Amino acid sequence: MLKIWNGMFVGVGGLGTITLKRIFEYAALKEPKIKKIIGAEKHGLAQREGAVDVYVRFLLSDNDEVPKYYLTSPTISIGEADLVIGLEPVEVLRNSKYTSSQTVFIINTNTIQPPLSISGQVKYPSIEEIKNAIKEISGSSKIIMFNATELAMNKMGQALYTNNIMLGAAISTGAIPISKEKIEETIAEQLKDVKKNLKAINIGYNIGTDLLSKI
């Protein structure tokens, strides 16, 4: 069996989108079935809340022998995303051309409006409008949306843990070809405040399980 798995994580600068990518990549090294890891980062003015789009691609195989030139592009094509983690909702909508009916979405409903919206020159869509548009474009019904930033503030005391709460919710869907244990091992190795980050994973995992049961 040969399969390419595609993850897309989007947000704006300062939300930990690239940290998510790093966790996925290091954790993937621990999974024997993942034979190749490739990805890309697109971030402009990220420290000033500019858009951040990252891709993580895995080649999955039960066989140690894989074609040499299989999976060489670091970016994904239209309709190829298996999983989308959106740390800012409009950024998911902006990248929705990469999704399909098979895509699983984990979306933070906390908004960070761009300057044009703040100044009143353009209207920032409502969460309901964003969700409906994503559904129409992708055709997917597997959309989990919740305010992970608010949850991080209430449960953890800091918005810093938003990305790992989102990661925990993503793990709960079963859409990631990496076990929860391998991800937790990676967090223990790569991040500071290990206990808090693992707590964030489990908060997200529990809310993801609950919301998934309601879809």
pLDDT tens for the chain, 215 residues long, are: 789 999 999 998 888 999 999 999 999 999 999 999 999 988 765 555 678 999 999 999 988 788 778 899 999 999 999 999 999 999 999 999 999 999 999 999 999 887 777 777 888 999 999 999 999 999 999 999 999 999 999 999 999 999 999 999 999 999 999 999 999 999 999 999 999 999 999 999 999 999 999 88
Q: Where are the domains of the chain?
A: 2-63+78-212
Q: What amino acid is encoded at 20 in this protein?
A: L
Kindly report the pTM of this predicted structure: 0.94
Per-residue pLDDT at 128: 97
CB 6 within 8 A of CB 41: no
Structure tokens at 147: 């305010």
Q: Are 58 and 36 in contact (CB under 8 A)?
A: yes
Six-digit token string for 120: 């009143």
Rg (CA), the chain: 17
Dihedral sign, Cα of residue 175, residue 179, residue 180, residue 182: negative
Q: What is the pLDDT of residue 121?
A: 83
pLDDT at 11: 93
Q: Which of 22, 34, 30 is nearest to 58 (CA)?
A: 34
* Alpha-carbon gap, residue 121 to 108, rounded angstroms: 24
**pLDDT of the residue at 44:** 62
pLDDT of residue 15: 87
pLDDT at 9: 97
Beta 2-12 vs 51-61: how paired, if at all? antiparallel
Question: Could you write out the three-class secondary structure of 111-128?
Answer: CCCCHHHHCCCCCCCCHH
CA distances (Å), origin 91, targets 4, 36, 103, 177, 187:
24, 27, 16, 24, 26
pLDDT at residue 45 in the model: 55
Pairing assessment for the beta strands 83-86 and 51-61 based on DSSP bridges: unpaired
Return the pLDDT at 176.
97
Residue 183 has a pLDDT of 98
pLDDT of residue 114: 76
CA atoms within 13 A on the CB side of 182: 17
pLDDT at 48 (0 to 100): 59
Give the number of residues written for the chain: 215
Tell me the CATH number of domain 2-63+78-212, given options 1.20.20.10, 3.40.1280.10, 3.40.710.10, 3.40.920.10.
Answer: 3.40.920.10
CA distance 10 to 89: 9
Taken in order 203, 205, 206, 208, the sign of the CA dihedral is positive
DSSP class of residue 171 equals H
pLDDT confidence of residue 215: 86
